[in-house]
Amino acid sequence: QSVLTQPPSVSAAPGQKVTISCSGSSSNIGNNYVSWYQQLPGTAPKLLIYENNRRPSGIPDRFSGSKSGTSATLGITGLQTGDEADYYCGTWDSSLSAGVFGGGTKLTVL
């Protein structure tokens, strides 16, 4: 059981937009920065979003992040088949004094 809650799967057609939610509490998302990761099959995770809504260099602006209260959202526009992957949110939990991840969301581009 993950501390952060993500939908197990989402799907959309190529070119469309999808959002992935990440729900937590005041001890984690509510008071700390959220980051998002993309994991393609058989590879290490890759940072997509950090500090809630900032993109590392090289990450296209099709990827966006937002946070409101104790929830965060990853948005992906202009979906491509290459975006099919598992996506994870992560943050620090101040009560646990530990890092926490969501359970992951599998994106299928139909």
Partner 1 sequence: EVQLLESGGGLIQPGGSLRLSCEASGFTFSSYAMSWVRQAPGKGLEWVSVISGSGDITYYADSMKGRLTFSRDNSKNTLYLQMNSLRAEDTAVYYCAKGHLLGGFDIWGQGTMVTVSS
Q: What are the residues binding partner 1 (CB under 8 A)?
A: 2, 32-33, 35, 37, 39, 44-47, 49-51, 56, 86, 88, 90-92, 96-104
Give whichever of 30 and 103 is closer to partner 1, judged by the CB atom: 103
Longest dimension (CA), the chain: 40
Q: How far apart are CA 56 and CA 100, in angstroms?
A: 21
Give whichever of 13 and 58 is closer to partner 1, judged by the CB atom: 58
Give whichever of 35 and 64 is closer to partner 1, judged by the CB atom: 35
Q: How far apart are CA 23 and CA 14, in angstroms?
A: 26
